[in-house]
Amino acid sequence: MSLIDWFAARRKDQFVGKVSQDTDEGDGLWVKCSECSQVAYRKDLISNCNVCSNCGHHNRINSDERINIIADKNSFEEFDRSLSPTDPLGFKDRRSYADRIKESQAGTGLRDGVVTGICSVNSMPLALAVMDFRFMGGSMGSVVGEKITRIIERATLENFPILIVCASGGARMQEGMLSLMQMAKISGALKKHKEKNLLYMPLLTHPTTGGVTASFAMLGDLILAEPKALIGFAGRRVIEQTLREKLPDNFQTAEYLLAHGFVDVIVKRKDLKDTLTKILKIHGVKELAKTNI
Amino acid sequence: MAKRYLLDFEKPLVELEKQIEQIKELARDSEVDVSQQLLQLETLAARRREEIFKSLTPAQKIQVARHPQRPSTLDFVQMFCDDWIELHGDRNGGDDMALIGGIGSINNRPVLMLGHQKGRDTKENVVRNFGMAKPGGYRKALRLMQHANRFSLPILTFIDTPGAYAGLKAEEQGQGEAIARNLREMFGLKVPIVATVIGEGGSGGALGIGVADRLLMFEHSVYTVASPEACASILWRDAAKAPEAASALKITGKDLLKLGIIDEVLPEPSGGNNWAPLDAGNTLKEAIEKHLNALLQMPEEELIEERYKKFRVLGKFIEANNIEEIYSEIPQKTE
């Protein structure tokens, strides 16, 4: 082996080693922030809602962690757990959709990319749908559409406000046009909710794009967003490559949308529950009797 | 007649057409009776054309759907009515030329018509932005639909877009919000809505005027969740796999009828709508008449409720507690 080969091999090993370290988030007591490289004790990071204490970077969190931040302890009652995706088109790209479903289910313990239910926030009721980006990029197929529609219908029936935590790459291509139709289905359910003068808020988290942006993410009476979250209709690369337009650095961030009038308020994760509580109170949401939950 | 734009799979017809032309020329200059041969060749050409168009692949249908001479929204409007007045503007600082609308009457019935408008050539397409509407276009559409709602004009929409425009300005002006609002508000309109995919229905940009009581599609039109090109480059990591993506995505009228997404597939003249635009116009006019007649019988509240139900049932999923049960129900594809 020549010296050059030896260096090449060593670089390759280093590279592989680094990647596996990054993706292996399960173990390790220490975590390095992907934004500012500050090293933090994992438990500290978790107790800080997975937000870097140095730079304030909001790490992605899963649906369970999100529910724990929002809901009063043990108040979350999950609905429609038993809904699972099927493969209506027999879709196969480089891999079959059926395989992708199974892999995502095994990896996340979820049936599909959204968890829905009702909880209380400082004793006030809130219907909740939390998208989980781990499940095929939070993409919206029939199950996501159906579960969100059902929770909206339930909230409409029981006069509950709704919060939908968005985290999605858009419509799930593997279910073809059925996915696109979920956008209309959910928007229709939101229409009925709105007609009863009930409060609907989406919380836009990183990332909220495509078909989700072009439907329920933008239909909030009040639209909340997490700091620096990517929010947009078309992908940045699509706009850059096909249309050759120069884009500002903060393009499609929560702050950018706020400046252009499409987000009401940017909420830091640690303030989320407080902010929700204030909003619910101001909108006259009554506290539940203790026995109800 | 203007020179016809030929699609690659139409090439086998070119030879035949050339022969027909030659014989016709010959006949003009001489006394020989060639009507027999002419008839033979013309019949043959017609049969070939029919064969080719009966067995188009989804990727080929996309080519037909994008044919520059395929009748567009304004073509249909011209065929349908002679009292058309185009209405402009989103009352928000712009008028999108890619999504047009106006009022007129079909068979003495006043209606509002709106749809995406593509151009025939590069110059027109620059003005029409290739039929890709900006947020202002969707807001204009909503303004007109709400107007129709107040004056009880049934709404006809014509879908023909590669997708909503993706650009810096479009994002700044809230492309997502504009489409989303249309989806929600269309559920509340008290007048019948008939939407027709006359060319290509590109994703959210199509759905933005597509929440309807009846959704019709021409035989060679396509309606996609994402363009096959984009889908191929994301899922296959290779844009050249677009024809495969086109098949996998189930984008033709026949497939979408099976999935319960559309209500009717309108037959096209052999060779596609661009061959006989007037025939296409008649087909569409008859279909719209039929559906409007049925929808106008319904009380407003029932109409709105039925529209909700129509979309409410879309989606395929399994409801089962046992995960093993689920795995056994997912069709296993072996290849």
Residues A40 and A67 in one domain: no
Which residues, other chains included, contact A168 with Cβ-Cβ below 8 Å and sequence gap of 6+? Answer: A113, A131, A133, A137, A138, A139, A140, A207, A208, A209, A210, A211, A212
Q: Can you tell me the ipTM of this complex?
A: 0.92
User: Do A184 and B210 lie within an 8 Å CB cutoff?
Assistant: yes
Q: Which of A40-54, A272-286, B9-23, B219-233 has the lowest mean pLDDT?
A: B9-23
More confident residue, B335 or A205: A205
Is A119 marked within a binding site?
Answer: no
Residues A230 and A92 in one domain: yes
pLDDT for residue A291 is more than 70: no
Where residue B217 sits, what CATH number does that domain have? Answer: 3.90.226.10
pLDDT number for residue B331: 55
Q: Are A202 and A190 in contact (CB under 8 A)?
A: no
Residue B213 counted as domain residue:
yes
| A265 pLDDT tier (thresholds 50, 70, 90) | very high
pTM, two decimal places = 0.90
pLDDT number for residue B325: 59
pLDDT for residue B333 is more than 50: no
C-alpha B157 chain-centroid distance = 10
pLDDT for residue B334 is more than 70: no
pLDDT number for residue B9: 87
Amino acid residing at B322: N
B231 close to A (CB below 8 A) = yes
Question: Which of A15, A30, A59 is where one domain is finished?
Answer: A59
Residues A87 and A54 in one domain: no
| Cα Rg, chain B, nearest whole Å | 22
Residue B177 counted as domain residue:
yes
User: Do A214 and B180 lie within an 8 Å CB cutoff?
Assistant: yes
Residues A45 and A189 in one domain: no
Residue B265 counted as domain residue:
yes
More confident residue, A77 or B9: A77
User: What's the domain count of chain B?
Assistant: 1
Q: Are B261 and B314 in contact (CB under 8 A)?
A: yes
Q: Are B159 and B72 in contact (CB under 8 A)?
A: no
Residues A162 and A285 in one domain: yes
User: Do B259 and A178 lie within an 8 Å CB cutoff?
Assistant: yes
Backbone angles phi, psi at B170, to 5 degrees: -60, -40
Distance CA A50, CA A59 (A): 6
Nearest to A245 among B167, B235, B321 (CB): B167
- Give, in order, the Cα–Cα distances in Å from A108 to each of A32, A138, B16, B194: 23, 12, 60, 42
Phi/psi-derived region of residue B131, left when phi > 0, alpha when psi is between -120 and 50, beta in every other case: left
pLDDT number for residue A17: 42
Residues from chain A contacting residue B207 (CB–CB below 8 Å): 180-181, 183-184, 214
Q: What is the mean pLDDT of residues B266-294?
A: 94
Q: Are A62 and A132 in contact (CB under 8 A)?
A: yes
pLDDT for residue A15 is more than 60: no
pLDDT tens digits, residue range A121-160? 999 999 999 999 999 999 999 999 999 999 999 999 999 9
User: What's the domain count of chain A?
Assistant: 2
Residue B28 counted as domain residue:
no
Where residue A184 sits, what CATH number does that domain have? Answer: 3.90.226.10
Give A105-108 contacts, CB < 8 A, sequence gap 24+. A105/A135, A105/B323, A107/A134, A108/A62, A108/A132, A108/A134, A108/A135
Residues A45 and A174 in one domain: no
User: What 3-state class would DSSP assign to A153?
Assistant: helix
Residue span of the structural domain in which A227 resides: 60-292
Residue B68 counted as domain residue:
yes
Distance CA B210, CA B158 (A): 9
Distance CA A145, CA B99 (A): 28
Distance CA B97, CA A201 (A): 33
> Exposure pattern of B37-66 as b/e (b: 16+ CB <10 Å)?
ebeebeeebeebbeebbeebebbbbbbbbb
Residue B198 counted as domain residue:
yes
Residue span of the structural domain in which B133 resides: 63-310
User: Do A179 and B185 lie within an 8 Å CB cutoff?
Assistant: no
Q: List A residues 59-98 in contact with B (Cβ-Cβ < 8 A).
A: 80, 82-94, 96, 98
Q: What is the mean pLDDT of residues A245-272?
A: 93
Residues A194 and A210 in one domain: yes
First to last CA, chain B: 49
User: Do A142 and B210 lie within an 8 Å CB cutoff?
Assistant: no
Which residues, other chains included, contact B319 with Cβ-Cβ below 8 Å and sequence gap of 6+? Answer: A80, A82, A83, A84
Q: List A residues 172-191 in contact with B (Cβ-Cβ < 8 A).
A: 173-185, 187-191
Is A52 marked within a binding site?
Answer: yes
Residue B244 counted as domain residue:
yes
Residues A21 and A89 in one domain: no
Q: Are A176 and A97 in contact (CB under 8 A)?
A: no
Residues from chain B contacting residue A90 (CB–CB below 8 Å): 331, 333
**Choosing among A95, A149, A181, A242, which should be mutated to test the B contact, i.e. which has the most B CBs within 10 A?**
A181
Residues A73 and A18 in one domain: no
A241 close to B (CB below 8 A) = no
Residues A82 and A47 in one domain: no
More confident residue, A257 or A19: A257
- Residue B203 Cα, gap to closest chain A Cα (Å): 7
Q: What is the mean pLDDT of residues A186-214?
A: 97
pLDDT for residue B139 is more than 80: yes
Residues from chain B contacting residue A142 (CB–CB below 8 Å): 314-317
- Give, in order, the Cα–Cα distances in Å from A218 to each of A21, A94, B32, B67: 37, 33, 72, 34
pLDDT tens digits, residue range B40-87? 888 888 888 888 999 999 999 999 999 999 999 999 999 999 899 999
Place of tokens 């990727």: B59
Residue B110 counted as domain residue:
yes
pLDDT number for residue A155: 97
Residues A20 and A135 in one domain: no
Residues A54 and A85 in one domain: no
Question: Which of A33, A59, A85 is where one domain is finished?
Answer: A59
